[in-house]
Amino acid sequence: MFHRRPLLPAFYKHRLATICASVAFISGCALPPLSERTPSQAISAEEAANTRLGQALQPLINAHPGLSGVRALPDAHDAFAVRALLIHAAEKSLDVQYYIWRADTTGMMLLQNLHNAAERGVRVRLLLDDNGIRKLDRELALLNTHPNFEVRLFNPFVIRRPKAIGYLTDFYRLNHRMHNKSFTVDNMATVVGGRNIGDEYFGATDQTLFADLDVLAFGAVVQDVSYDFDRYWASPLAYPIDQIVKLKPTDTIDDLDLGQVLKQNPDRTQRYLHVLRDTELVQELLQQRLDVEWVKTEMVSDDPIKAEGKANAKQMLSYQLHHAIGTPALQVDLISPYFVPTKTGVRGFERLRQKNIPVRVLTNSYEATDVAAVHAGYIKRRKAMLRAGIEIYELKKLSSGNLNKKGKNPFGSSGSSLHAKTFAMDGERVFIGSFNFDPRSANLNTELGFVIHSPTLAQEISRLFSERIPYSSYRLALNEHNKLIWLEQEEDGSIITHTTEPGTSLFSRWWVRFMSKLPIEWML
C-alpha cells in the first residue's frame, strides 16, 4: 500500500560511512558475530500444562477447543497490575518483548519483579528494541549475568555513548525498529497490545498519559505468540546484550540496584501501589472471578526479516490482517494515534463510502499528539476524507486519561494522548495490537496484534464513538467555504465551533503545514 524510498541519497550515505570508518574510536561500527549465541525455545505445551497457571487454566481451555479467552485492558492501572500478577504467578518461563522500556517507577518495578522471578528459578527472556532503552544499559547488562535471565537487543548499535553516532553512521537500520509488544507467562497466558513499559502508559505520572489498549489472552492464541517470540529471539538482529554493552570486569549481579528509582520517591511508589490494589481487575483475581470471553482469536505479525528490509508481501502483518479480518460490509470504526492514511488509504476509504459503509476515525489532535511530524502527514488528507463522508474525531488533550477510565490517576495528570491502536469492523471483529495506520507500521517497523472475533468488543468500540468520543474530542467538518472547522460538544449538548485548530499557535500551524509539504510521508 505504501512505497518505500531510500532515507538518504546514496552520496550522503557513502559520506557518513566514510566518516565512521575514519574515526578511530568508532571502529566498532560493525555488529559482532552471533556464533556464540545460545539457542532456546518456549517451553512445550506439556510443560506449560503442568505449571500452576496451566493447571488452573487447562480445564477452561479444554472446554473451549480452538478458542482463546480474552479480556481487554483499557485501564492503565489494570494493565500494570495484570503484568505484575502474571510475573508473580510464573513458574517456568517469562518471554517479554517490547519496543520501549523506561527507567522510571513502573519500568523499574517490573524489572525488579522479573529479577525476583529469575531468583526463584523462572527462566526470563527479555527482548528489547535498542532504540527504546535509554539509561538502562548497565541494569540490563547486569540482569543478563543472572543464570536464569537473558537479555537480547534487537537491531542494536555498538556505539553506546554517544549513541547518536551510531544513528548517523547507519541511518537505514535506525529506521527499522521492532515495535512489537508481548508479555507471555509459562506459555499459558499473554498480554499483547499497544502499551510499552513506562509511567505514561500505566497512569503513574503527572505528565501526559497515553490512553492505550492491551488484551489479556489464554488458550489457543498463546502458542502462536510463543512461536512468534521464538522467531524474533532467534532473528539475526537479536543480539545478546553482553556482545553490545560491556561491563567492568569487577561488575557482578550483586551490584544490581533496581530499586534506586523507587527509593528516590517512596511516597510516590506507595501511592501507586495503593491504587493498584483497588483496581477492578485485581479484585476479580483475588475473588477468583476473572471475566473473559472465549472467542476465535488470530495472531497477525510481521516476519522479523522485515526489519532487514527483506520481507515479501505474505510475510507482512498488513497482508495477514487483510485476510484475517476480511472486507467490511457494514461499518468501520478506527482508532489510531499516528494516523497517516496516504493517498492510497484515502482512496480505500472513498470506496467504502461509495458502498454506503460508514467509516469513523479517532486520532490525536495537534494539542494531544506527541509527534508533530506525524500530524503533518495526517493534516494533508483531512479535507479529502471529509469530502468522502468519513467522520473524523481528534482527541482533546484534557480528556479523561483513558477511553474507559475507571479510577483517578494518583498523580494528577496534565492531560492525555491517544496511543491505542484498534479498529472494529461490522460490529463483529476487532484488531488490537501495535500497528498504527501509517506507512511506518506498514513498511518499516515490525508489528504484532490480534484479530478477535468478538461482537462484544466490536460493539463496545462502536458505543465509544456514539457515547463518549464526541465529548472528549473535536469533530471535524467543512463549512460553507470549504474551510476546516472543529466542533466541540459540551456536556449540556451545546456546540462550540473553532475556526482554527485548537491548541495551536500561528507558528505551530505554519510549521506543521511546512512539514506536510516535505516528501516524508513514506517514513511517518
pLDDT higher than threshold 90 for residue 97: yes
H-assigned helices in 64-136:
76-89, 105-119
pLDDT digits (tens, 9 = 90+) for 162-208: 877 877 777 778 889 999 999 999 999 999 999 999 999 999 988 88
Sign of the C-alpha dihedral computed for residues 432, 232, 1 and 475 taken in this order: positive
As a whole number, mean pLDDT of residues 88-111 equals: 96
As a whole number, mean pLDDT of residues 3-15 equals: 45
CA distance 501 to 484: 8
Identify the residue with better confidence: 4 or 53.
Answer: 53
Residue with C-alpha cell 494531544? Answer: 368
DSSP one-letter string for 371-437: -HHHHHHHHTTHHHHHHTT-EEEEE-TTS-SSTT--S--TT--S-EEE---EEEETTTEEEEES--S
- Which of helix, strand or coil describes residue 1? coil
CB-based contact 402:161 (threshold 8 Å): no
pLDDT higher than threshold 50 for residue 153: yes
- pLDDT score at 469: 94
Q: How confident is the model at residue 128 (pLDDT cuts 50, 70, 90)?
A: very high
- pLDDT score at 406: 47
pLDDT digits (tens, 9 = 90+) for 432-449: 999 999 999 999 999 999
What superfamily would CATH give domain 298-523?
Endonuclease Chain A (3.30.870.10)
pLDDT digits (tens, 9 = 90+) for 249-258: 999 898 999 8
pLDDT higher than threshold 50 for residue 22: no
pLDDT higher than threshold 90 for residue 500: yes
Percent of the chain whose pLDDT exceeds 70: 91
Tally of residues, the chain: 524
pLDDT digits (tens, 9 = 90+) for 235-282: 999 999 999 999 999 998 989 998 888 888 788 888 888 888 878 887
What residues contact 180, with CB distance under 8 A and at least 6 apart?
A: 97, 98, 99, 228, 232, 301, 434, 446, 447, 448
- In this structure, whether the domain defined by 10-29+42-286 belongs to CATH 3.30.870.10 is answered with yes
pLDDT digits (tens, 9 = 90+) for 31-41: 899 988 999 99
- pLDDT score at 524: 79
Show which residues are catalytic.
Answer: 179, 181, 186, 419, 421, 426
Taking all residues of the chain, what is their mean pLDDT, rounded to a whole number?
89
CA distance 471 to 357: 24
User: All 3 cell numbers of residue 326?
Assistant: 476480511
Identify the residue with better confidence: 117 or 170.
Answer: 117
For the CA atoms of 497, 503, 505, 506, the dihedral, rounded to the nearest 10 degrees, stands at: -40
- Which of helix, strand or coil describes residue 214? strand
- The pTM for the full model equals 0.91
Edge to edge, what strands does the sheet with 484-489 contain?
297-301, 448-452, 429-433, 422-425, 332-335, 359-364, 391-395, 473-478, 484-489, 495-498
- pLDDT score at 403: 43
CB-based contact 302:400 (threshold 8 Å): no
- pLDDT score at 17: 43
As a whole number, mean pLDDT of residues 146-161 equals: 94
CB-based contact 175:443 (threshold 8 Å): no
| Consecutive H or E run containing 264 | helix 260-264
Amino acid in position 358: P
- Which of helix, strand or coil describes residue 89? helix
As a whole number, mean pLDDT of residues 419-426 equals: 96
Domains 10-29+42-286 and 298-523 share a fold: yes
Q: Enumerate the domain spans of the chain.
A: 10-29+42-286, 298-523
pLDDT higher than threshold 50 for residue 13: no
User: All 3 cell numbers of residue 337?
Assistant: 494515534
What residues contact 390, with CB distance under 8 A and at least 6 apart?
A: 349, 353, 359, 360, 361
